Amino acid sequence: MILDRLEHADIYRPLGERIAAALDYLRQTRFEDLADGRHELDGDRLVAIVQRYRPKPVAEARWEAHRRYIDVQYVVEGCERIGFTLLRHDLPVREPYDPHKDVVFFDATGDLLAVSAGSFAIFTPHDVHAPSLLADSPEATQQVCKVVVKCRIGD
């Protein structure tokens, strides 16, 4: 898992062509002009999902992981917390892996990371995460605009 500010994105370009493309897209796009929903950037190899919502209480966290995609989650507006823990063999599965949605849900707990506007987090398949959680800050009641760029692993 990586958590940083978008102005430092160039540091992460060596992580791969798709991650570099995702970070370039996040730097170059005016999201206030983009509708919510799925936007294919390179077929199913690189997909952006624009979301606007009010974060949910930590008690409603859904801990998830993916197998075929790396998530680059960028907060455009507002602030949220994202839960994080490493995938372990003894982590109880709440909902089994769905290959169509590329997600498995776990019964988990972990660290809660504050992700404010201008920050991004990268989650790989061994990173279990719980996005869209209410932040413990003055901005906590605000709506969040977040873009998740899904970077397919492999060809």
Domain annotation for the chain: domains and CATH numbers: 2-152 (2.60.120.370)
Q: What is the pLDDT of residue 133?
A: 96
Distances, alpha carbon 138 to alpha carbons 15, 73, 116, in Å: 34, 21, 11
Q: What is the pLDDT of residue 121?
A: 98
Sequence-ordered list of residues with C-beta below 8 angstroms from that of 38, at least 6 positions apart, any chain: 47, 48, 49
DSSP 8-state assignment for residue 34:
S
Cα 46 from Cα 77, distance rounded (Å): 22
Among residues 58, 72, 53, 55, the alpha carbon closest in space to that of 4 is found at: 72
Among residues 31, 32, 54, 19, the alpha carbon closest in space to that of 149 is found at: 19
Among residues 88, 87, 153, 140, the alpha carbon closest in space to that of 114 is found at: 140
SS3 call for 122: strand
Listed as ranges, residues in the chain with pLDDT below 70 are 137-141
Find where tokens 């075929």 sit.
Answer: 68
Single pTM value for the model: 0.95
Which tokens in the block code for residue 79?
């602030």
